Chain A
């Protein structure tokens, strides 16, 4: 089914996608002329596939549950923010706060993201084939952030229990984030994530892992400048 945002209102298009008749066979949708509109495909909750042809604005695929959303273009701030499950695949670049606060699902970005990718992530898997901007994985609580390119300043600042896998250079690490040795279990996690994004598994050896040094978990007067 084709949905044209030049002809139909954004609200109408989102309503159509949010109220799917589960008995119907209509599971594949296409959105044309997104023209940078905000909140396209926000709040979907069914197992459907939606392809957006073009660039979107803020909060694309926000709060997604179950749906598989593909964007043939760039996305604005907060793509897949607060996603619960499902998959969002961006073929271009993403702006700030990609996958912010998301609880689950998979976000794949073929290009780069700007700052704060995976900020406060709570269980989502994010795979960025390009580079990420500063303050990525800031206060990340759970889930995995895979970066095939480089990371900007303060990577993983105040990180909790999320993991960061990165192939390129890290400009600087944030407070309480440190490099960890990857064990078998970590390698398996990374392998399955690379597979999801169709990246060659043999790349695993080129990745490094970072996560919390857990030094900020309890108050320590020696760390007062870091709080």
Chain B
């Protein structure tokens, strides 16, 4: 099963309510995926600064900041539940190398505007642990997981991020991910888990780094990714959805002049403002829909 949700705000007046909207969406999708949950929030870009979302299995935040500041100047660490958001001007290539020396820290995503949080447990508890309600931003993507392809761990939770400001959530499962993982790894894409979705995220990163647009990459994916899926993919500019040609994994879109919301089921967006007068439709199979700046 799994539940996927996404919301893109067209009207800035709702930015401060982004977290509240996503909380409602994830809570009502908890029944579709009670094993773990995660979400990615996109907020305004900080010039020349990077945010690294890190899952830590230690609660000694002060010590970690101290350790890291030995290697990195001007570091700011914010701790939320078992995650740290580390803000620094250091470029990703260098900083990720430094992180590798700290076994207690695992990187879940990075970029100039993305923050990612994921955790094992019922989605209703997970969103509470991370105080999702308080977040603001321009767009957000969430996932509630019913595990199939890999173990119930934070590593096996969505969203997956394999590139700067990128993320992917998935409802479905892929059957050719082992072959694809090997060929992507040969091209230098880092895939950490045995999960099928992380391979799809890597596939998208690879397409984007080849200077293809997100839309082109997702269309290519229809040929290369074998299995069944509804994907919601986020970048710093917006989000996109695609369903495989068989389209047995559900999705519904509601669009108003103020926002675009995507969810596995309509009930996830029943609480959004003026949703009953929104344009509501199901994405057609094999077609990419995208919204953004």
Task: Report which of B265, B270, B281, B284 forms a contact with A93, defined as CB distance below 8 A.
Answer: B281
Asked if B247 CB lies within 8 Å of chain A CBs, one says yes
Asked if A54 CB lies within 8 Å of chain B CBs, one says yes
User: What separation, in Å, do the CA atoms of A22 and B102 have in the docked complex?
Assistant: 72
User: Across the two chains, which residue of chain B brings its CB closest to A92?
Assistant: B280
User: What separation, in Å, do the CA atoms of A133 and B280 have in the docked complex?
Assistant: 16
Check if B282 sits within 8 Å of A36, measured CB to CB: no
Check if A35 sits within 8 Å of B267, measured CB to CB: yes
Task: Report which of A38, A54, A58, A115 forms a contact with B285, defined as CB distance below 8 A.
Answer: A115
Which residues of B have CB within 8 Å of A133?
247, 284-285
Check if B252 sits within 8 Å of A95, measured CB to CB: yes
Smallest beta-carbon distance B253→chain A, Å: 12
User: What separation, in Å, do the CA atoms of A133 and B252 have in the docked complex?
Assistant: 15
User: Across the two chains, which residue of chain B brings its CB closest to A77?
Assistant: B250
User: What separation, in Å, do the CA atoms of A21 and B200 have in the docked complex?
Assistant: 56
Check if A36 sits within 8 Å of B270, measured CB to CB: yes
Which residues of A have CB within 8 Å of B270?
35-36, 55
Which residues of B have CB within 8 Å of A57?
265-267
Please tell me the number of chain A residues within 8 Å of chain B, measured between CB atoms.
21
Which residues of B have CB within 8 Å of A163?
none
Known: A77-B250, A95-B252. A37 touches B276 (CB 8 A): no
The interface centre, meaning the residue of A38, A56, A95, A114 with most chain B CB atoms within 10 A of its CB, is A114
User: Across the two chains, which residue of chain A brings its CB closest to B266?
Assistant: A36
Known: A35-B270, A74-B280, A134-B285. A115 touches B265 (CB 8 A): no
Check if A114 sits within 8 Å of B265, measured CB to CB: no
Which residues of B have CB within 8 Å of A55?
266, 270, 276, 280
User: Across the two chains, which residue of chain A brings its CB closest to B278?
Assistant: A55
Known: A74-B280, A115-B285. A96 touches B250 (CB 8 A): yes
Per-residue CB contact flags for chain B residues 258-287 toward chain A (1 = under 8 Å, else 0) read 000000011111110000100011101100
User: Across the two chains, which residue of chain B brings its CB closest to A53?
Assistant: B276
User: What separation, in Å, do the CA atoms of A36 and B268 have in the docked complex?
Assistant: 8
Asked if A73 CB lies within 8 Å of chain B CBs, one says yes
Which residues of B have CB within 8 Å of A76?
250, 252, 265-266
- Size bracket, chain B contacts: 10 to 19
Check if A93 sits within 8 Å of B280, measured CB to CB: yes
Which residues of B have CB within 8 Å of A77?
250
Task: Report which of B250, B268, B276, B281 forms a contact with A54, defined as CB distance below 8 A.
Answer: B276
Check if A115 sits within 8 Å of B247, measured CB to CB: yes
Per-residue CB contact flags for chain B residues 229-249 toward chain A (1 = under 8 Å, else 0) read 000000000000000000110
Per-residue CB contact flags for chain A residues 82-114 toward chain B (1 = under 8 Å, else 0) read 000000000011011000000000000000001
Task: Report which of B250, B269, B276, B282 forms a contact with A73, defined as CB distance below 8 A.
Answer: B276
User: What separation, in Å, do the CA atoms of A38 and B28 have in the docked complex?
Assistant: 12
User: What separation, in Å, do the CA atoms of A115 and B282 have in the docked complex?
Assistant: 10
Which residues of B have CB within 8 Å of A114?
247, 282
Residues facing B in A44-65 (CB within 8 A) are 54-58
Check if A36 sits within 8 Å of B247, measured CB to CB: no
Check if B282 sits within 8 Å of A95, measured CB to CB: yes
Smallest beta-carbon distance B283→chain A, Å: 9
User: What separation, in Å, do the CA atoms of A93 and B282 have in the docked complex?
Assistant: 9
Which residues of A have CB within 8 Å of B248?
96
User: Across the two chains, which residue of chain A brings its CB closest to B252?
Assistant: A95
User: Across the two chains, which residue of chain A brings its CB closest to B28?
Assistant: A36
Known: A55-B280, A73-B276, A114-B282. A95 touches B267 (CB 8 A): no
Which residues of B have CB within 8 Å of A96?
247-248, 250
Task: Report which of B265, B281, B285 forms a contact with A36, defined as CB distance below 8 A.
Answer: B265
Which residues of A have CB within 8 Å of B250?
76-77, 95-96
User: What separation, in Å, do the CA atoms of A74 and B270 have in the docked complex?
Assistant: 12
User: What separation, in Å, do the CA atoms of A73 and B281 have in the docked complex?
Assistant: 12
User: What separation, in Å, do the CA atoms of A41 and B258 have in the docked complex?
Assistant: 33
Q: Offer 18 A-B interface pairs, CB within 8 angstroms, sorted by A.
A: A35-B270, A35-B271, A36-B266, A36-B267, A36-B269, A54-B276, A55-B276, A55-B280, A57-B265, A57-B267, A58-B265, A74-B266, A76-B250, A76-B252, A77-B250, A92-B280, A95-B282, A96-B248
Q: Which residues of A contact B (CB under 8 A)?
A: 35-38, 54-58, 73-74, 76-77, 92-93, 95-96, 114-115, 133-134
Other 17 A-B pairs with CB < 8 A, given A36-B269, A55-B276, A96-B247: A35-B271, A36-B267, A36-B268, A37-B267, A55-B266, A55-B270, A55-B280, A57-B265, A57-B266, A58-B265, A74-B266, A74-B280, A76-B266, A93-B282, A96-B250, A114-B282, A115-B247
Q: Which residues of B contact A (CB under 8 A)?
A: 247-248, 250, 252, 265-271, 276, 280-282, 284-285
